[in-house]
Amino acid sequence: MMSEPQYAPGIPARITDYADTYKKKFQDNATTTEFDTGSGSTQETAQSRSLVLPPGISNEVFHEAIEGLKSLVDGDVVLVHRQLDDGWYLDRPLTHDAFPLGAQDEFINSAICSPSNVEQVQAVVKWANRWLIPIYPISMGRNLSYGGAAARLRGSVIVDLGKRMNKVLELNEKSAFCLLEPGVTYYMLFDEIKKSGKDLWVDVPDLGGGSVMGNALDRGVGYTPYGDHFGMHCGMEIILPNGELIRTGMGAMPDVNTEHGSANTWQLFQYGFGPYPDGLFSQSNYGIVTKMGFWLMPNPKGHQTFQITFEKEDDLYEIVETIRPLRIRNIIPNVPLLRHIMQEATVYGNRKSFWDGDGPIPHDKIDEIVVPKMWMGNFRWILYICVYGPEVIRKAHIDVIREEFYKIQGAKLTFPEDTPANSYLRSRVNLYAGIPDLRELDWVMWLPNGSHTDFGPISPTTGEDAVKQYEMTKRIHQKYGFDYFPNFCVGLREMHHIVMIIYDRKDEDSKRRVTAMMKELISEGAKLGMGEYRTHIAFQDQVMKTYSFNDGALLKFLDQIKDNLDPNGILAPGRNGIWGSRWKGKGLERA
Cα(486)–Cα(497) distance, integer angstroms: 7
Closest to 144 measured CA to CA, from 87, 189, 102: 87
Over the range 19-37, which residues count as b (16 or more CB within 10 Å of their CB) and which as e?
Answer: beebbebbeebbeeebbbe
* Nearest-angstrom CA–CA distance, 248 and 266: 8
Query: What CA–CA distance (Å, rounded) separates 96 from 175?
Result: 40
Using DSSP, state whether 542 is helix, strand or coil. Answer: helix
CA 502 distance to own-chain centroid: 16
User: C-alpha angle 235/237/241, rounded to 5°?
Assistant: 135
Number of Cβ atoms within 10 Å of the Cβ of 373: 11
The three-state secondary structure class of 137 is strand
Residues 108, 101: Cα–Cα separation, whole Å:
13
* Separation between Cα atoms, residue 224 and residue 489, nearest integer Å: 12
DSSP assignment of 417-476: GGS-TT-HHHHHHHHHTT----GGGGGGGGSTTEEEEEE-EEEES-HHHHHHHHHHHHHH
Distance of CA 566 to the CA centre of its chain: 26
Position 16: which residue type?
Answer: T
User: What contacts 307, CB < 8 A, 6 or more positions away?
Assistant: 382, 383, 384, 385, 413, 414, 425, 428
Taking the C-alpha atoms of residue 493 and residue 332, their distance in angstroms, rounded to an integer, is 12
DSSP structure string for 355-387: --SSSSPPGGGHHHHTGGGSTT-S-SEEEEEEE
Q: Alpha-carbon distance 335 to 224, whole Å? A: 6
Separation CA 550–CA 533 (nearest Å) = 20
Residue 288 β-bridge partners: 239
Amino acid at 424: Y
Q: How is residue 245 annotated by DSSP? A: E
Q: How far apart are CA 256 and CA 262, in angstroms?
A: 7
Task: Give the residue numbers annotated as catalytic, written as ranges.
Answer: 146, 533-534
Neighbouring CB atoms inside 10 A of 108's CB total 22
